[in-house]
Amino acid sequence: MCGIVGYIGYREAQPILVDSLEKLEYRGYDSCGIALCGSTMILRKDVGRITELEKRLSRCEAHRGIGHIRWATHGKPSQANAHPHLDCTGKIAVVHNGVIINFQQLREQLTAEGHHFYSDTDTEVIPHLIEKYYSGDLEQAVYHTIADLVGSFAFAVLHEENDVLIVARKESPLVIGIGDKESFIASDVSALLNHTSRVIYLEENDFAVITGNGVRVVNQRHKVWRKEREIPWSVESAQKGGYEHFMLKEIYEQPTVVQNALREYLSLSGNGLNIDMIKNARTRGVLLLACGTSYYATLLGKQLLEKIAKVPVWAEVASEFNYSEMVSERFLAVAVSQSGETSDTVKALKKAKSMGCMTLAITNVLESSISRVADQTLYTRAGPEIGVAATKSFTAQLMALYWLALSSSAVEMQICQSLLQEMRLLPDKIQQILDNAERIIPCSQLLAQFEHVFFVSRGLNFPIALEGALKMKEISYIHAEGYAAGETKHGTFALLTPKTPVIAITSPDNTYDVLLTNLREMKARDVPLITIASENDQEIDKFADEVIRIPDVNPLFSPLLNTVVVQLLAYYTARERGCSIDMPRNLAKSVTVE
């Protein structure tokens, strides 16, 4: 969940490290730091934002260095716990993403051997181990250190006496940027966009020795070749482009995201997927694995696959699946992760694959860890998403799941083609919502006054109620819960008062009438009621306090439109409350630890 950067070359390293760290701010962090190495090691780190640290930096001509933003796991946010960490000699600096499970045992052993520790982190054992094993050969010292570590890691090592950077990865992402007589490292490509478009993605258990003139990659002590690739994103795509926040920009990019998905998926020969594998899922069953927002996407995917493809589906929270006994080789296991690096989801897919399941990954990031585990990958191609709260990536995941359901469909070809034709209208309908987004602001101004809110719906839109509640709590810090409307009578009604607004997502489908009954029951408890409804729905006006209208659409696709509304509702509420929208407190964009 932390972010790593590094540089070695002919330019001054410090401004490159600072710029690269700023590009990783979206990951979420509470402290930051850099280590620079010329004739001596220079360490600068502290709690807080990179911009604050930058103000305290004096010019340094060092041409190599490493940097880090930290999201606290072991030890509270503090200057001592911030990375980089040094060994006892002060000559070795390390930045690390991941979790060292056996750090306490290693720390006790090293302490008994005379090493002194200054932080509460698991990471600090790494430079001390390297110091222990170092006798002039840094590579060998790092090899021995890795052999002692139990857990996950992507780390970078800087040594005062060695004009190289050494990096290693296990279960955490790391990418190397290739320049002209210079090299870069980062947790993901967004940190490199200003400096190079040429990258090498390290694979599991890779170890690399990096200089300004090249990279040597080793795996299991054998030199290996890793293909150089072009970053598919532009610098401009990772900038705000005039919007107040990245989140707002990414919400407004969704018509294009849906259009691109349609173009990608309707050209079956262009996405490289084995359609027969997907169609076979009709008789084998599908297991959907994900966490957080992606899990809510799979809850809708479950309904779509069951409704359209007539296939049995199980949707499981990946972090819980990893400790369950449920698995069967008959499944098609589909893992969904925006970053492709979500630790629990990658682990779950590995477990399913080890049991003989066919595997498919749905992700937004090329060459991510999950795509290397899966038999096949369906890329959502939403472009870089900088805001911590997922918006366009969630919509892109829904589009992938719609396509998965239609491509394995049990419905007649004529009906399938009719549905595809309706999907082509979705970008324009989403754009209509965005063109009238200011109509949502009064509802957000109302919600901003409360500390508790409920999202309810039924059927296909129940997962959107869950997602709406998640977005609201993520960025506005309002306690929000999502419910299937019929379940609210089982306990939740005890909480309904004039101080607990309800946002109801309606759709003119087979759940409509019973949902209205549920809402009337809630309104009888004097709750402020905001509804999201079709432009042709006149019944809802009779008892709702506020109605947010969406264009008329086939109920099957109403979740896509309603998703945009709940995103805007959360965004404007957070803005009204003055919250940090793109970087909400305590959260990280990519959860790369269990």
Q: What is the pLDDT of residues 156-213, one digit of tens each?
A: 999 999 999 999 998 888 999 999 999 999 988 888 888 998 999 998 899 999 998 8
The per-residue pLDDT for 51 is 85
301: pLDDT strictly greater than 70: yes
CATH architecture of the domain with residue range 3-231:
4-Layer Sandwich (3.60)
Question: Measuring CA to CA, how many Å separate 86 from each of 39, 124, 583?
Answer: 16, 7, 29
Give CATH 3.60.20.10 domain extents, the chain: 3-231
Mean of pLDDT values over 523-531: 90
More confident residue, 487 or 217: 217
CA distance 568 to 131: 52
Percent of the chain with pLDDT over 70: 92
Catalytic residue among 2, 291, 357, 443: 2
412: pLDDT strictly greater than 80: no
The per-residue pLDDT for 425 is 92
Catalytic residue among 347, 350, 429, 589: 589
Sequence letter at residue 150 = V
269: pLDDT strictly greater than 70: no
CATH number of 437-580: 3.40.50.10490
* Tokens read off for 383: 């472009």
553: pLDDT strictly greater than 60: yes
More confident residue, 492 or 563: 563
Beta-carbon contacts of 122 under 8 Å, excluding residues fewer than 6 positions away, are: 73, 74, 99, 100, 103, 151
CA distance 95 to 347: 24
The per-residue pLDDT for 586 is 65
Nearest to 531 by CA among 297, 481, 522, 160: 522
Buried b (16+ CB within 10 A) or exposed e, 338-354: bbbbbbbbbbbbbbbbe
Specify the CATH class of 240-424 in words: alpha beta
346: pLDDT strictly greater than 50: yes
Question: What region does 308 belong to: left with phi over 0, alpha with psi -120 to 50, or beta?
Answer: alpha
The per-residue pLDDT for 331 is 85
300: pLDDT strictly greater than 50: yes
Entry pTM: 0.79
515: pLDDT strictly greater than 70: yes
Residue range 119-144, pLDDT digits in tens:
999 999 999 999 999 999 999 999 99
The per-residue pLDDT for 270 is 38
Helices 125-133 and 103-112, packing angle to 10 deg: 50
Active-site annotation holds for 88 = no
Active-site annotation holds for 489 = no
The per-residue pLDDT for 417 is 75
Give CATH 3.40.50.10490 domain extents, the chain: 240-424, 437-580
